[in-house]
Amino acid sequence: MSGLELLASALGVIAVWLTVKQNVWCWPIGLIMVLLYSWIFFDVKLYSDMLLQVIYAVLQVYGWVLWSRRQQAPARAVSVLTVQAMLPGLAAGAVVSLLLGAAMAHFTDAAQPWLDAALTGFSLVAQVWMAQKRLQCWPLWILLDVIFVGLFLYKALYLTAALYGLFTLLAVLGWREWRRALVPTA
């Protein structure tokens, strides 16, 4: 465990807690966290995760912009995707997983090219859904976070594994709180 991992983990807890509470400050704090984790993952040869953090940085800005539009309009409401509306996102996650996994397996010395790529592909889907305040981001995060815990234990990133265990619990809490925040439809 490094000081950098400790700082990134602490920021991660704060960012996810603020996301659960639908607080716009989750995005700038998350931005700092993902930039720190991009370096950590590069150092342990989890290159897909490193790239994921760089893309997360862009998505942090995207979420920050979407959630900050309160001045012009009411705050973005939590919404639910239909199964049909989820399919393109899940298909995109699968395609990214396969393409990235193949690239990492053939062109790098990545530690876990296929698993890391799959987690990356579907994490992108979950992150976009979170920025759009789609309820389905939370069950997807729960599944991904549980798998991430195993990967980080394997890579001896014990503090990060613990962080993702906490992320799993926060995702359960987020799912519950966002369900309560749903606006009933007639």
Residue 53 domain-assigned (yes or no): yes
Task: State which residues form the domain around 32.
Answer: 3-181
**What would the pLDDT profile of 126-164 be if each residue is shown by its tens digit?**
999 988 899 999 999 999 999 999 999 998 889 889 989
Is residue 90 within 8 Å of residue 126, measured between CB atoms? no
Domain presence at residue 186: no
Residue 90 domain flag: yes
Q: pTM higher than 0.75, yes or no?
A: yes
- Length of the chain (residues): 186
137 in a domain, yes or no? yes
Q: What is the pLDDT of residue 160?
A: 87
- Give the C-alpha separation, 142 to 168, whole Å: 5
Interval 171-180: pLDDT, tens? 999 999 999 9
Q: What is the pLDDT of residues 69-123, one digit of tens each?
A: 755 555 678 889 999 999 999 999 999 999 999 999 999 898 899 999 999 999 9
Q: Does residue 72 belong to any structural domain of this protein? A: yes
Number of domains, the chain: 1
Quick check: is 136 in a domain? yes
